[in-house]
Amino acid sequence: MSEAVVSIKNANIYQGSNLILENVNFEVHKGEFVYLVGKTGTGKSSLLKTLYGELTLKEGIGNVVGFDLLDMDWKKVPFLRRNLGVIFQDFQLLTDRSVYENLKFVLKATGWTDERLIEGKINDVLDKVGLKSKGFKMPFEMSGGEQQRVDIARALLNSPKLILADEPTGNLDPETSDEIMQLLIQIAKDYGTTVIMATHDFIVINRYPSRMLKTEMGKLIDSAAS
């Protein structure tokens, strides 16, 4: 079996002092594509936020891309996130700057300084998501699907081992959702990037079946374990 990119054992997931998920156990390996499903309020978002360091893991064992979640504090979170790509439903692009400048902003914020390397990296990720000629565009000039591709390009900038995608097809029409799904599955396959995708969209799940982690009644159920 390839290396575990995410390993969670006997973990209790809290939101503040409320216990949201109890005794969570799962591993996700290099290049795996996994869905995270469950009704609103059952802990999907809390689990994702724990994986990218927004919520603290208080009990159990958690390791994400080589970082110990129990040992995570605000000083270490930026280093964890440099090894992750997070894709949001609402894109969260900076509306006052071009696609290129959006991506450059992230690279600068994560310590890149060499302009030539920055330019090369941006061209590389835009090429991967099929937007090679769109770097000059402003977000408002683009369709929802194109903006989501920019969001995926941004997630790829630091060559992450893990992408956490939170409802990435939530605001997209079916045809565009298909394109985004194919792109994410391709990234997992071609680059060995692990993808965990939270979704409510069972049309997408049925069309692209894969392993499923489900939050339900305070537990996490892993389809691979059944």
Q: What is the DSSP string of 166-187?
A: ESTTTTS-HHHHHHHHHHHHHH
Q: Give 109's pLDDT tier (boundaries 50, 70, 90).
A: confident
Considering the domain 33-56+82-225, what is its CATH architecture? 3-Layer(aba) Sandwich (3.40)
Residues near 28 by Cβ (< 8 Å), separated by ≥ 6? Answer: 4, 5, 6, 34, 162, 194, 196
Question: Which pTM value belongs to this model?
Answer: 0.92
Is pLDDT at 33 greater than 90 in this prediction?
Answer: yes
Residue type at 65 in one-letter notation:
V
If one compares 210 and 88, the residue with the highest pLDDT of the two is: 210
Give the pLDDT confidence score for residue 111 in this predicted structure.
84
What is the rounded distance in angstroms from the CA atom of residue 189 to the CA atom of residue 206? 19
pLDDT, averaged across the chain: 92
Whole-number Å distance between alpha carbons of 68 and 40: 28
Provide the pLDDT for residue 226: 61
For 97-114, what is the mean pLDDT? 92
User: Which tens digits make up the pLDDT trace of 129-173?
Assistant: 999 999 999 999 999 999 999 999 999 998 999 999 999 998 889
49-85 pLDDT, tens digit each: 999 999 999 999 999 999 999 988 888 988 898 899 9
Burial of residue 30 (CB within 10 Å: 0-12, 13-18, 19+) is middle
- CA 170 to chain CA centroid, Å, is 14
What are the sequence ranges of the domains in the chain?
Answer: 33-56+82-225
